[in-house]
């Protein structure tokens, strides 16, 4: 039971890291960003590419992956996302999906289609209550909690964070104060993308790294965002960990059904509380 709990928190933590970026873009620009999945995939693959060059230093690999992703997400934001602003949401979905498609094919081209295994960078476990818990999973939980705290400080205490919160609520009102709110949303987009890459890097050792992994995680992240309430950061946080637990618990009884269960939860939530976008 304890290992399931830890696993649930681990998945929850990763879902949180990935979904926050999605929730921000969704809440701020009302754009569904499929390209987020591409950035996630890129993070994992850059890590894999770079590891042999830096003697397997996982931490450095993580930093490099994030750094590489910054200009990529900047370009996506500038040439695609910005043009979709205010357009019908269907076009945003299709366009960002196209970016994901291009990205997936690029990955297939460079690295091939077969999954690439990556080993647990820590490899050790600690025994607690006579159960072996991998240290790596605890680290992921710690990282996600730190990010949660960091974001909380950012949004509650810094002026940029407050502009974003106000902008999420009422974009026009922020603009009417003379603040070019879109510039801040772009910063938020890049920030969210960095988190997606981080999520990809962290998840890579405990899942399969393959070209379609972004597509995979995207659906679950969207479920997290929808269940948590669109544009609600607090909601996303809670639902990320909750759905992580759902996945872990379901996985314990019937492995492959874990993801399907997440969607079942999403469907139930939508029946009880239907939403408009």
Partner 1 sequence: MLLAVNCLDVHYGYAKALHDVTLHLLKGEVVCIAGRNGAGKTTLLKTIAGFLKPSKGSILFDQKPIHGFALEKISLMGIRYVFQDKRVFGELTVRENIELAAYPTKEKVSDSISRILNLYPRMSVLMDSKAKGLSGGQRQILLIGRALIGEPKLLLIDEPTEGLSAGIIEEILNVIMRMKGELSMLVVEQNLSVVSRMADRVYIMKEGSIFKEIVDRAVIEQSNALEGYL
Partner 2 sequence: MREKHKEKDVTAKVRNSGALGVVVIALGFILFGSATSIYRTTDFIIFCIFVLGFDLLYGHMGRLSFGHMLFFGSGAYGAGLLVRYATPNPLAAILVGICGGALVGAILGPVVVRATGACFALINLAFNQVGYFLALVGFAKFTGGEDGLSLTFSKIPFLSIANPKVFFGFTLFCLCLTYYFLKRVTASPYGILLRTIKENETRAQFIGYNTYRYKWITYVLSSSISAFAGALATVNYGYVNPSFIDPTRNVEVIFAALIGGAGNLYGAILGGVSYMVISNYLARYIPRWEMFLGLALLVLVFKFREGIWGNILSVWKSRTQTGA
Residues in the site for partner 2, rule: CB under 8 A? 26, 30, 32, 80, 83, 89-95, 97-102, 104-106, 108-109, 212, 215, 219, 222-223, 226, 230, 256-257, 259-260, 263-264, 266-267, 270-271, 274-277
CB-based contacts of 104, cutoff 8 Å, min separation 6: 38, 41, 211, 212, 214, 215
Among 70, 122, 179, 219, binds partner 1 (CB under 8 A): 179
CB 78 within 8 A of CB 185: no
| Residue 66 parent element (H or E) | helix 58-76
Q: How far is the CB of 104 from partner 2 (least distance, A)?
A: 6
Closer by beta carbon to partner 1, 4 or else 232: 232
Which residues on adjacent β-strands are paired with residue 245?
A: none
Residue 267 binds to partner 1 (criterion: CB under 8 A): no
| Residue 174 in the binding site for partner 1 (CB under 8 A) | yes
116 binds, among partner 1, partner 2, none (CB under 5 to 8 A by kind): none
Nearer to partner 2, 105 or 132 (CB): 105
Among partner 1, partner 2, none, residue 99 binds (CB under 5-8 Å by kind): partner 2
Which of partner 1, partner 2, none does 171 bind, CB closer than 5 to 8 A by kind? none
Please name which of 20, 93, 60, 40 lies closest in space to residue 200, comparing C-alpha atoms. 40
State the minimum distance, in angstroms, from the CB of residue 144 to partner 1: 24
Instruction: Please select the residue that binds partner 1; options are 149, 176, 263, 267, rule is CB under 8 A.
Output: 176
Q: Contact 248/240 with Cβ under 8 angstroms?
A: no
Q: Please, is 180 exposed, middle or buried when counting C-beta atoms within 10 Å of its C-beta (0-12, 13-18, 19+)?
A: exposed
CB distance 100 to 214 below 8 Å: yes
Contact 154, 138 (CB under 8 A): no
Distance in Å, CB of 161 to partner 2, minimum: 25
Considering the rule CB under 8 A, would residue 158 count as an interface residue with partner 1?
no
From 87, 109, 170, 270, residue interacting with partner 1 (rule: CB under 8 A): 170
By CB under 8 A, tell whether 234 contacts partner 1: no
- The answer to whether 177 contacts partner 1 (rule: CB under 8 A) is yes
Please give the residue ranges that form the binding site for partner 1 (CB under 8 A): 159, 162-163, 165-166, 169-170, 172-180
């Amino acid at each position: 039971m304890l290992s399931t709990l830890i696993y649930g928190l681990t998945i929850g933590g990763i879902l949180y890291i990935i979904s926050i970026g999605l929730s921000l873009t969704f809440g701020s620009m009302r754009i569904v960003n499929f390209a987020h999945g591409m950035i996630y995939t890129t993070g994992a693959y850059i890590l894999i590419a770079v590891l042999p060059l830096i003697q397997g230093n996982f931490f450095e690999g993580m930093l490099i992956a994030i750094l590489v992703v910054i200009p990529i997400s900047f370009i996506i934001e500038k040439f695609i996302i910005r043009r979709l602003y205010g357009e019908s949401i269907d076009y945003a979905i299709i366009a960002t999906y196209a970016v994901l498609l291009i990205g997936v094919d690029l990955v297939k081209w460079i690295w091939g289609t077969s999954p690439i295994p990556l080993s647990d960078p820590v490899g050790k476990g600690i025994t607690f209550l006579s159960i072996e818990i991998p240290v790596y999973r605890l680290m992921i939980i710690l990282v996600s909690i730190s990010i949660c705290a960091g974001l909380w400080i950012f949004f509650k205490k810094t002026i940029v964070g407050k502009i974003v919160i106000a902008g999420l609520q009422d974009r026009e009102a922020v603009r009417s104060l003379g603040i070019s709110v879109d510039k801040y949303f772009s910063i938020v987009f890049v920030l969210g993308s960095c988190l997606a890459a981080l999520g990809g890097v962290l998840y890579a050792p405990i899942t399969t790294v393959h070209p379609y992994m972004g597509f995979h995680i995207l659906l679950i992240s969207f479920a997290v965002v929808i269940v948590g309430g669109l544009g609600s950061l607090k909601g996303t946080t809670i639902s990320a960990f909750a759905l992580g637990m759902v996945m872990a618990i379901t996985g314990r009884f019937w492995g492959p059904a874990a993801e399907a269960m997440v969607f079942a939860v999403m469907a139930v939530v939508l029946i009880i509380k239907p939403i408009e976008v």
